[in-house]
Amino acid sequence: MSAIGYAIGTRSSPNTANDFYFWVPPEEESLQVGSIVKVESPGNSAIGVVEEMKSYADVDDFLTHALPRANDPLLVPANKEQSIVVCRARVLKQHRERPIGEGVVRYPTRGELEEVFSVEGCRIPFGVFVNSDGTMLPVRVHEEYVLGYEGAHVNISGMSGLATKTSTFLFLLASIFAHARSRVACVIFNNKSDDLLHIDRASKELTREDLLIYETCGVSPGGFKTRFFAPSNFYGRPQSLRQEAEVFRWGWEEIVNYLPSLLKAATQDQKEKLDNAFYELRRMASLRALASIAEVLEFMRRELLLEQKAPSELIHGTYKATWGKLYNQLRALETKYDGLITGYAEEVVDLPFDSIADREVWVIDIQQLGFYPRKLVFERVIDEFLSRLERRSLKVEKLIIFMDELNKYAPSNASAEVASLKEKLIDIAARGRSIGISLFAAEQFRSKIDQNILGNISTDIYGKTKDAELAEPLYKNLPEQVKGRIRRFSRGEKLLDHELFEAPVFIRVPRPPCMLGSELSRLRAMQKSVA
Ligand SMILES: Nc1ncnc2c1ncn2[C@@H]1O[C@H](COP(=O)(O)OP(=O)(O)O)[C@@H](O)[C@H]1O
Ligand SMILES: [Mg+2]
């Protein structure tokens, strides 16, 4: 292996146990921020990742440089000044816990790199590292730290379309399905057009480079074994761009626990009254074994909204006027929820939660639902799986839940609208790993996510991100030049930070193994132009 630099600590830039400096000869052109290098010095050796590169010449100011050239940029003076590139590398692994002295810097061999990346127990590739000498190897994470029970949750952030968050998620899922030892399934909510409604088909856009990454990671690209679900419309058809989706439709029993978060009132005081009335109604309905919204409404008309009573009179401890408001909101549910909610028990079709199988993906299409119905679907689906995992009654031990646009549902600011869902997501973030639920989430701005969730994520992936976002305190531990590279990332480049890693690693991820909605549109546009 040829030399690519020489490590030495100077007065102004001493080597430490954490960092070492080295200069690079002018003809060396491969090194870049993110490269991994090795230095051998007497008595110690270290492998480090380049976090900072500086280039400067032996001149004090610009005037001193311009003067001998008579201000002509094309003129080369006889005694041209020396210029040099200096790198700072962060130590990833070293022989002894002390600063290295001086020594020759080379690229590590494949074996040495493998040693750096082989963290005990890490077996699931989340991408490849390509060193600047061309060596490519998989970067693996630990199953127990991704899916539980030691740690959980993966976050993918970055700019829409350019950070390729959804694509990255699908690649990670394929890799998890290929390598995980536990029985694992995944539930995805589709909330953007037909983004995730074709993931059962293989992608036709994979390049040679993509295929090489798949091969290196031991993953075969292709469509997922998928079941598509969508809420029913009034006619019992799926509200979805995927017309053969299986429908679901919920009634009183399915939604009764979520009603308090769906009931609305103008003031806090009125909301409390409405909630109290609802709890009383629920108690009475349960005593009388009422099983549908229609039956509950009928009961309210018969026993609570008595004609001979004035609005200010109490009936079963609640003003008749409040019963009236509750009645109107319950009656409006069917229309407001576009068919997702039905008044009649015989029309109820629940999701077949118990049947989710190993390596199966469920795509629940909520794209055509409004904000509140979406929230209802999220909350109930999460709860149903949570309780089954806790009881260990599923055919799988681990479940991945993918939430796109997490910032909408678990924002860092207090938002009454999403309070109950956010609470649930925070709960999953905190307890999920011990139950086997792992939240995989994506968003444009990581800084807009609630702190309680961020604190529990064990794997972070950063795609191309804008300056203003990188200036947030959240990113303060990333060196400036690492941030610079994130700013300039191409689509397949990511920074991966995993709980068990010494330092974040620059990785490459391929295009998704399966078809995204955007690929299908491109395909259709192409077919049209050919026809
Ligand atoms: N490695 C890659 N190189 C080039 N294009 C890619 C790559 N990965 C994904 N794409 C394409 O980029 C587009 C945006 O990707 P997507 O994953 O939908 O981004 P996001 O979810 O961040 O908005 C898609 O059309 C996808 O096919
Ligand atoms: Mg996306």
Q: Which ligand is nearest to the CA of 444?
A: 1
- Band of residue 1 on the pLDDT scale cut at 50, 70, 90: low
Tens of pLDDT, residue by residue over 10-54, are 999 999 999 999 999 988 999 999 999 999 998 899 999 999 999
Q: Is the CB of 465 under 6 A from ligand 1?
A: no
Per-residue burial over 114-137, b if 16 or more Cβ lie within 10 Å, else e, is eebbebeebebbbbbbbbbbebeb
Q: Is the CB of 516 under 6 A from ligand 1?
A: yes
Handedness of CA 216, 217, 219, 221 (dihedral sign): negative
Ligand 2 centroid to Cα of residue 340, in Å, is 25
- Distance from C-alpha of 15 to C-alpha of 55, rounded to nearest angstrom: 18
Ligand 2 centroid to Cα of residue 166, in Å, is 4
Ligand 1 centroid to Cα of residue 164, in Å, is 4
Token pair for residue 403? Answer: 């939430």
Q: Is the CB of 165 under 6 A from ligand 1?
A: yes
Taking the model in full, what pTM does it have? 0.93
Tens of pLDDT, residue by residue over 5-20, are 999 999 999 999 999 9
Q: Whose CA is nearest to atom 23 of ligand 1?
A: 161
What pLDDT, on the 0 to 100 scale, is given for residue 337? 86
Q: Whose CA is nearest to atom 14 of ligand 1?
A: 161
Strands 459-462 and 437-443, sheet pairing? unpaired
Q: Is the CB of 166 under 6 A from ligand 1?
A: yes
Closest-lying ligand 1 atom to the alpha carbon of residue 168: 17
Tens of pLDDT, residue by residue over 407-419, are 999 999 988 888 8
Token pair for residue 431? Answer: 């307890």
Q: Is the CB of 271 under 6 A from ligand 1?
A: no
Q: Which of 156, 164, 210, 212 to mutate to test the pocket of ligand 1 (most atoms within 8 A of CB)?
A: 164
Closest-lying ligand 1 atom to the alpha carbon of residue 516: 27
Closest-lying ligand 1 atom to the alpha carbon of residue 404: 21
DSSP class of 347: G
Strand, coil or helix: 126: strand
Q: Whose CA is nearest to atom 16 of ligand 1?
A: 164
Tens of pLDDT, residue by residue over 117-141, are 888 889 999 999 999 999 999 999 9
Percent of the chain predicted with pLDDT > 70:
100
Token pair for residue 328? Answer: 């109107």
Q: Which ligand is nearest to the CA of 190?
A: 2
What would the mean pLDDT of 482-492 be, rounded to a whole number? 96
Q: Is the CB of 164 under 6 A from ligand 1?
A: yes
Percent of the chain predicted with pLDDT > 90:
86
